[in-house]
Amino acid sequence: PIQHGRTKHINVKFHAIREVEKNGYVQLMYCRSEEQLTYILTKALPSAKFNELRSKLGVLKKSFKEEC
């Protein structure tokens, strides 16, 4: 196989992660896509899912009716 400059970093990251897992420094865990907290920042979500992820992040809803 031909090694392209754009794919080299993928191989380096993959081998580095595999090595630290093998040595026991980290433990990789499977996370379903429905549980990805980062979706709140990258996807358009239904309001129920948005509110669920927001609460998991610990972000509170701001009330704009507060008096100064």
The predicted-structure confidence for 47-63, as pLDDT tens digits, reads as follows: 999 898 899 888 877 77
Q: Are 20 and 14 within 8 A, CB to CB?
A: no
Domain boundaries, the chain: 4-57
Between residues 65 and 28, which one has the greater pLDDT?
28
In sequence order, what are the residues at sequence separation of 6 or more whose Cβ sits closer than 8 angstroms to the Cβ of residue 26?
Answer: 17, 20
**pTM to 2 decimal places:** 0.50
